[in-house]
Amino acid sequence: MNGRTLFNAAIEGKNHSGRPPLWVMRQAGRYLPEYRALKEKYSFVEMVKNPELATEVTLQPLKRFPLDAAIVFSDILVIPEAMGQEYAFRPSGGIEMKVKLKTDACIEALNSSQISERLAYVEKTLKLLRKELGNEHALLGFCGSPWTLACYMIEGGSAEGFPTTIKWAKERPESFVRLLEKISEALVEYIKMQAECGIDALQIFDSWQALCPDQYLWDWSLKWIKQLVQNSPGSVPIIVYANSSVNRLQEVCNTGCAALGVHHSANLLDARMSLPKNLPLQGNLNPELMETDGETVKVETLKLLDEMKMDPAHILNLGHGIRPGAKIECMESLVETTRNYSMN
Ligand code: CP3
C-alpha cells in the first residue's frame, strides 16, 4: 500500500494495513537545512507566492523521509492578504500585518470576491504538486477557520490572547458577524478551488478556538465551520483541527466534518472512546518530542501506536506544527518506528 492509498483508507475509517499513515505539519520549516538555505535567498511570502518554489519546499521533507502525505507549503494568512491585509513575519517571531481592522468601514473595505484569481499561485502550486506526487502520496490543502483568521485580522498580527478580538466580538457583535461572513465567503471559494486541484483532504485550522468561551463557542467559531463544511464539494473530506479539550471535540464533530485533528494536550485514546468509532482522528504526539533524541521518540511513538492499535481511523501526526528546534534524528526515528510498526 502506498502513502496515498493508506491515507485515504484511514480517512474512510477503513485502514487495516498494519500501520497508520504519517505526515507532519510544518514539515517544512526552520529545522531543515535545505529550507533554511532557500530562506537565505527568499522571504517566506516570496516562496509561498512562487509555485515552483512552494512546490520544492513542500517536497523537501518527502525527499528526506518516506512520509505518506504532504501538506501544501502556504499559510492560513493568504486569505487576509487576498482580502487586503498584507502580512510578514516579525524578525523576533510572530506575525505582523500592514494594517489592522479598527472600524466597521475597515471591514466593509475588505474584498472577498474573486479570491481564486488572487490566489491563483496556490492553485498552480497544488496542480504542480498533484502531478509530482501522483498516486504515491496523499496531498492536503488547508485554510484557517473564520474565527482564527478574524483574530489575526483584528489584532493585525500575533497577540497574546487576542484581547481586542474578544472585546470586539462581545461589544460589537453585528460588525463582528459581518467580518466572519466576509471571511467565510472568501473561504468557500478558496476551498472549492483547492478541491478542484485534486487534493485528498482539506484541513481547517481553528488554532485559536480555545479562546472562545463555552457560551460563544458556536456563535464565534463552530457555526462558521459548519457553514464551510456544508458549502464545500462533498468530494473532499474536511479535517477540523482545534486546540481544544476532549469534551469539546464532540461539539466540533457537530460541524459535520469528516475527521478531527487532535491537539497534544488531549488524550487521543480518551478522544477515541468518547467519539464515534469510525471517526478519523489525527494526532497527536507532542511536537516537543522532536527536540529530544531518537530513542525517546521511538518509545513515545510506540506508546501511542500501541494505544491506538487496530484503530482503522487513526492518522499519525504531531499535535501541532513541528518546531524550529526539531532534530532530524527525531524525525527519522518517528518515521522508522511508524513504518516498521504492525497493527496486526
Ligand atoms: O505544514 C506545512 O509545511 C504547510 C504549511 C503551513 C504553514 N503554516 C507554513 C508555515 C500550515 C498548514 C500553516 C498553518 C498556520 N499558519 C496556522 C495554523 C496552524 C497553527 O500553527 O496553529 C497559523 C496560526 C499560521 C500563521 C503562522 N505562520 C504563524 C503563527 C507562524 C509562526 C511565526 C513565527 O515567527 O514563529 C507561521 C510561520 C510558518 N508558516 C512557517 C511555516 C513553514 C515557519 C516559517 C519560517 O520560519 O520560515
- CA of 76 relative to ligand 1 center, distance in Å: 8
- CA of 157 relative to ligand 1 center, distance in Å: 13
- For residue 310, name the pLDDT band (cuts at 50, 70, 90): confident
Ligand 1 atom at shortest distance from the alpha carbon of 208: 22
Task: For ligand 1, atom 23, name the residue with the nearest CA.
Answer: 76
Ligand 1 atom at shortest distance from the alpha carbon of 72: 4
- For residue 90, name the pLDDT band (cuts at 50, 70, 90): confident
Average pLDDT of the segment spanning 197-207: 97
Cβ atoms within 10 Å, residue 334:
26
Ligand 1 binding pocket includes 234 (Cβ within 6 Å) = no
Grid cell 494568512 is found at 77
Nearest to 166 by CA among 204, 210, 129, 201: 210
| Domain 3-339, second-level architecture | Alpha-Beta Barrel (3.20)
- For residue 26, name the pLDDT band (cuts at 50, 70, 90): confident
CA atoms within 13 A on the CB side of 143: 33
User: Can you tell me the distance from the alpha carbon of 47 to that of 211, in angstroms, rounded to the nearest whole number?
Assistant: 31
Burial class (CB in 10 A: 0-12, 13-18, 19+), 234: exposed
User: Can you tell me the distance from the alpha carbon of 140 to that of 339, in angstroms, rounded to the nearest whole number?
Assistant: 20
- CA of 320 relative to ligand 1 center, distance in Å: 10
Which strand ranges, in their side-by-side order, compose the sheet holding 259-262?
69-71, 138-144, 201-206, 238-242, 259-262, 281-285, 314-318
| Residue pLDDT, tens place only, 9-25 | 999 999 999 899 999 98
Nine cell digits for residue 131: 502531478
- For residue 124, name the pLDDT band (cuts at 50, 70, 90): very high
Nearest to 229 by CA among 211, 196, 256: 256
Strands 201-206 and 238-242: parallel
| Residue pLDDT, tens place only, 38-70 | 999 999 999 999 999 999 999 999 999 999 999
Ligand 1 binding pocket includes 323 (Cβ within 6 Å) = no
Ligand 1 atom at shortest distance from the alpha carbon of 57: 3
Ligand 1 binding pocket includes 74 (Cβ within 6 Å) = yes
Residue 343 has pLDDT above 70, yes or no: no
Ligand 1 atom at shortest distance from the alpha carbon of 74: 5
Residues 6+ apart with CB under 8 A from 145: 204, 205, 206, 207, 209, 221, 224, 225, 228, 240
- CA of 44 relative to ligand 1 center, distance in Å: 10
* Percent of the chain with pLDDT strictly greater than 90: 92
Residue to mutate (ligand 1; options 35, 76, 86, 206; most atoms within 8 A of CB): 76
User: Can you tell me the distance from the alpha carbon of 320 to that of 255, in angstroms, rounded to the nearest whole number?
Assistant: 21
User: Can you tell me the distance from the alpha carbon of 107 to that of 103, in angstroms, rounded to the nearest whole number?
Assistant: 7
Ligand 1 binding pocket includes 75 (Cβ within 6 Å) = yes
Nine cell digits for residue 79: 486569505
Ligand 1 binding pocket includes 24 (Cβ within 6 Å) = no
Nearest to 291 by CA among 265, 263, 335, 329: 329
Does pTM top 0.95 for this prediction?
A: yes
Ligand 1 binding pocket includes 28 (Cβ within 6 Å) = yes
Average pLDDT of the segment spanning 301-315: 95
Residue 27 has pLDDT above 80, yes or no: no
- CA of 26 relative to ligand 1 center, distance in Å: 7
Give Cα 325 distance to the centre of its chain. Answer: 20
User: Can you tell me the distance from the alpha carbon of 191 to that of 150, in angstroms, rounded to the nearest whole number?
Assistant: 17
Strands 87-89 and 95-97: antiparallel
Ligand 1 binding pocket includes 205 (Cβ within 6 Å) = yes
pLDDT reported for residue 28: 77
- For residue 125, name the pLDDT band (cuts at 50, 70, 90): very high
pLDDT reported for residue 315: 98
pLDDT reported for residue 322: 93
* Mean pLDDT for the chain overall: 96
* Percent of the chain with pLDDT strictly greater than 70: 99
Task: For ligand 1, atom 44, name the residue with the nearest CA.
Answer: 29
Helix axes 51-64, 33-41, angle to 10 degrees: 160
pLDDT reported for residue 244: 86
Task: For ligand 1, atom 4, name the residue with the nearest CA.
Answer: 73
Ligand 1 binding pocket includes 165 (Cβ within 6 Å) = no
Ligand 1 binding pocket includes 91 (Cβ within 6 Å) = no
Phi and psi, residue 331, nearest 5°: -65, -40
User: Can you tell me the distance from the alpha carbon of 67 to that of 73, in angstroms, rounded to the nearest whole number?
Assistant: 15
Nearest to 23 by CA among 71, 74, 72: 71
Point out which residues pair with 139 in neighbouring strands: 70
Burial class (CB in 10 A: 0-12, 13-18, 19+), 185: middle
pLDDT reported for residue 67: 96
Average pLDDT of the segment spanning 126-132: 98
